[in-house]
Amino acid sequence: AGAAAVLERAELRERTATANSMARLLRPKVVAVVGASREQGSVGSRIFQHILENNFTGTVYPVNNQAVSVHGVRAYPGVGQLPEPPDLVVVAVPAEGVVPVAEEAVRAGAKGLIVVASGFAETGEAGAALQGRLVDVARANGARLVGPNCLGLLNTDPAISLNASLAAAMPPAGRIGFFSHSAALGIVILQYAGERGLGFSTFVSAGNRADVSGTDVLEYWEEDPATDIAMLYLEAFGNPRRFGRVARRVSGRKPVLCVKGARSRAGSTAAGAHIGAAPVGDVEVDALFHQAGVIRVDTLEELFDAALLLAHQPLPGGNRVAILSNSGGVVTITADACDGYGLHVSTAGLVDLGPQAGAEDYRAAVQRALEDPRIDAVIAIFLCVGECDPELVSRGIRRGVVGAERSTGVAKPVLLSMMGATGVVKFAFEGKGALAGRTTAFPSYRFPEAAARALAHAVAYADYRREPPGRLVWYEDTDPARARAVIEAAVKEVPPGGGPHRLTPEQAGEILDCFGVHVASRPPRQNGGAPLDLSVRQHHVFGPVVVLGRAGQPAVVRITPLTDQDVRGMLKEVEVPPEGGEVELLCRLSQLIEELPWLAELEAAFVAAADGAPAALGADLVVAVTRPA
């Protein structure tokens, strides 16, 4: 408990510090653009213009030693000559000129820097060195740096209204925060999302992520009242353990949607070439996202489809869906899709309203389905054949939703597919009576299959949210100091940084004993099924990874540290009842891994509790340690 409390306090401090530093970047009062020239097309000129055009509520200064004014605004020859200290400086000069400008900016008091130029770590060693110098300048002065090799940032909050980016049009204001590694992709996503009716609170294009990373931005959104949904396009992780910790916290309150690019070998090669980052294993990314409650989507389209639902509808209470349509064929393909995505469709949930169905039929059917306690969500599809009025039908659906919410007091998600229309179907808010703002917009999908997929993501996320939050269990009856002494004695002769050194069974047993992990004296007996194997391996990016599984079957992979919920989930997946001794064994093992960073490898049979004997590791275990260089 003591150690856990210390960790929690440290986390809170870190979170507050990050959020404050990010707020200075995203909510500045005074902005300077260095490199804003009179030339129309230049990067600096465009960013300066975007800030002006989008009615920034603070003050923006162009910095240019060749011109008296830029776009009609008085220019200053250097950041040092500005009439007031800037909060944020946009450095829009070529790579070789960036460091001196950054130095001048932080001297002038800037706490935020945006560096647009490419020519840094993505180009090779010399660029990486230059990027290192840039980061040093920022960190030595407590400033945060976005980029280099990025397109800037946006904040649609009317109190700020800042478009310090190369995106020509400010996206519609809304409740989604969006972070993108890829610069160009980020801008195009903003554009398309706007067309589909998604509104944004903030957008950060982080490019090389020399300083500000997705995790920093996530930590800012955690407490940002303007952001309800976090959307990330990631290609690599700087610090996956920190990402996991933060994402777990955030996703307990707000959905975190993530496209992880560079999944494949080919994709990684491409990413390596343009961001200079090492690819990571996809299994580990899956584990990380799963443990942190992050909604992983495979494609951009899927990202929008899911965001549209989460932004406009409540979370479903379960996976039982009703499908309503005026076409039996559409009910069929939608049922196929729902089934394929793991949703439950009962016969009662298949509602073919017939080709003549109109607004009132939809109203009645939607209301009936939503009032049914065995239904958690409704997908309503309308095909317009010949003469018809989709808007009339939408309004009928809405009346059904309002009616059901009034009679039951429960809000359930409703997804539309007007077969042709995509985006959101919006309604003017109709005064008193309508339960909530949410009934004023329904996500609509061109094809019902996309609706089914989006709903499946929302169901999985809602499941995660219903589970009690995972806790890191910290046992006090342990003796990490003695365990460390055993390891140090064992590796005395091993040169620092050498390959893993394998401990004797006695040494291994003693270490485990320090953490209350039993080693079986009897041969491992299993209650049916093949024996369970447990292993811990060091991953070069993710750190210690725990793998539990039976020979010949897919194993469950998890990143440490493991919460009690992680452990229960692992046991469930390998069909061991997630109770008592087995949970404790794995939680203690996770604590051991945290406390003994020299542990390089562990391999053992996993022996469930039986006949009064506690859960234990098999007797013929392998434990290896590495002495850090």
Omega before 561 within 30 of 0, i.e. cis: yes
- Smallest gap from Cβ 249 to a copy of itself, in A, equals 27
| Ramachandran category for residue 187: left, alpha or beta (phi over 0 → left; psi -120 to 50 → alpha) | alpha
Beta carbons of 96 and 123 less than 8 angstroms apart: no
- Smallest gap from Cβ 582 to a copy of itself, in A, equals 28
Helix or strand (DSSP H, E) at 543: strand 543-550
Buried b / exposed e over 314-344, threshold 16 CB at 10 Å, is bbbbbbbbbbbbbbeebbebbbebbeebebe
Q: Segment contacting a copy of itself (CB under 8 A): 85-93, 284-292, 324-332, 538-546?
A: 324-332
- Extract the tokens encoding 493: 């002769």
Report the C-alpha gap between 161 and 167 in whole angstroms.
14
Buried b / exposed e over 283-303, threshold 16 CB at 10 Å, is ebbebbbbbbbbbbbeebebb
Helix or strand (DSSP H, E) at 428: none
Report the C-alpha gap between 396 and 318 in whole angstroms.
25
From 11, 286, 352, 603, residue interacting with a copy of itself (rule: CB under 8 A): 352
Report the C-alpha gap between 482 and 345 in whole angstroms.
56
From 93, 167, 217, 608, residue interacting with a copy of itself (rule: CB under 8 A): 167
Report the C-alpha gap between 614 and 579 in whole angstroms.
12
CB closer to a copy of itself out of 204 and 508: 204
- Smallest gap from Cβ 181 to a copy of itself, in A, equals 6
Backbone angles phi, psi at 58, to 5 degrees: -95, -150
CB closer to a copy of itself out of 185 and 364: 185
Residues 429-448 that bind a copy of itself (CB under 8 A): 446-447
CB closer to a copy of itself out of 163 and 439: 163
DSSP 190-256: HHHHHHTT--EEEEEE-TT-SS--HHHHHHHHHH-TT-SEEEEEES--S-HHHHHHHHHHHHTTS-E
Beta strands in 383-445 (DSSP E): 414-417, 423-426, 441-444
Kindly state whether residue 41 participates in binding a copy of itself, applying the rule CB under 8 A. yes
- Smallest gap from Cβ 364 to a copy of itself, in A, equals 19
- Smallest gap from Cβ 339 to a copy of itself, in A, equals 3
- Smallest gap from Cβ 280 to a copy of itself, in A, equals 13
CB closer to a copy of itself out of 383 and 619: 383
- Smallest gap from Cβ 269 to a copy of itself, in A, equals 5
Kindly state whether residue 502 participates in binding a copy of itself, applying the rule CB under 8 A. no
Contacts with a copy of itself, 386-405, as mask; x by CB under 8 A: xx------------------
Kindly state whether residue 209 participates in binding a copy of itself, applying the rule CB under 8 A. no
Torsional sign, CA 325, 329, 333, 336: positive
- Smallest gap from Cβ 194 to a copy of itself, in A, equals 11
- Extract the tokens encoding 293: 């409650």
Kindly state whether residue 412 participates in binding a copy of itself, applying the rule CB under 8 A. no
Q: What is the DSSP letter of 142?
A: T
Report the C-alpha gap between 285 and 271 in whole angstroms.
16
Beta carbons of 370 and 401 less than 8 angstroms apart: yes
CB closer to a copy of itself out of 368 and 446: 446
Kindly state whether residue 384 participates in binding a copy of itself, applying the rule CB under 8 A. yes
Residues 568-627 that bind a copy of itself (CB under 8 A): none
Residues 279-318 that bind a copy of itself (CB under 8 A): 298-301
CB closer to a copy of itself out of 418 and 624: 418
From 42, 141, 161, 332, residue interacting with a copy of itself (rule: CB under 8 A): 332
Residues 95-124 that bind a copy of itself (CB under 8 A): 118, 122
Residues 46-65 that bind a copy of itself (CB under 8 A): 46
Those residues with Cβ within 8 angstroms of residue 55's Cβ, 6 or more apart along the chain or in another chain: 161
- Smallest gap from Cβ 187 to a copy of itself, in A, equals 5
Q: Kindly determine how many residues on this chain lie close enough to bind a copy of itself according to the rule CB under 8 A.
A: 72
Residues 233-272 that bind a copy of itself (CB under 8 A): 233, 235, 259, 261-271
CB closer to a copy of itself out of 451 and 625: 451
- Smallest gap from Cβ 274 to a copy of itself, in A, equals 3
- Extract the tokens encoding 6: 């210390």
- Smallest gap from Cβ 320 to a copy of itself, in A, equals 11
CB closer to a copy of itself out of 187 and 462: 187
Bridge partners of residue 380, in order along the sequence: 324, 416
- Smallest gap from Cβ 571 to a copy of itself, in A, equals 25
Distance of CA 293 to the CA centre of its chain: 8
- Smallest gap from Cβ 541 to a copy of itself, in A, equals 17
Residues 181-200 that bind a copy of itself (CB under 8 A): 181-188, 191-192
- Smallest gap from Cβ 580 to a copy of itself, in A, equals 33
Report the C-alpha gap between 153 and 114 in whole angstroms.
8
- Smallest gap from Cβ 178 to a copy of itself, in A, equals 14
From 131, 213, 227, 326, residue interacting with a copy of itself (rule: CB under 8 A): 326
CB closer to a copy of itself out of 270 and 485: 270
From 95, 210, 230, 345, residue interacting with a copy of itself (rule: CB under 8 A): 345
From 145, 170, 295, 338, residue interacting with a copy of itself (rule: CB under 8 A): 338
Those residues with Cβ within 8 angstroms of residue 413's Cβ, 6 or more apart along the chain or in another chain: 309, 313, 314, 315, 316, 377, 378, 455, 458
CB closer to a copy of itself out of 181 and 254: 181
From 420, 505, 529, 580, residue interacting with a copy of itself (rule: CB under 8 A): 420
- Say whether 554 sits in a helix, a strand or coil: coil
CB closer to a copy of itself out of 313 and 417: 417
From 449, 533, 564, 566, residue interacting with a copy of itself (rule: CB under 8 A): 449
CB closer to a copy of itself out of 450 and 557: 450
Report the C-alpha gap between 179 and 202 in whole angstroms.
8
CB closer to a copy of itself out of 261 and 561: 261
Q: What is the DSSP letter of 349?
A: G
Report the chain's C-alpha Rg in angstroms: 28
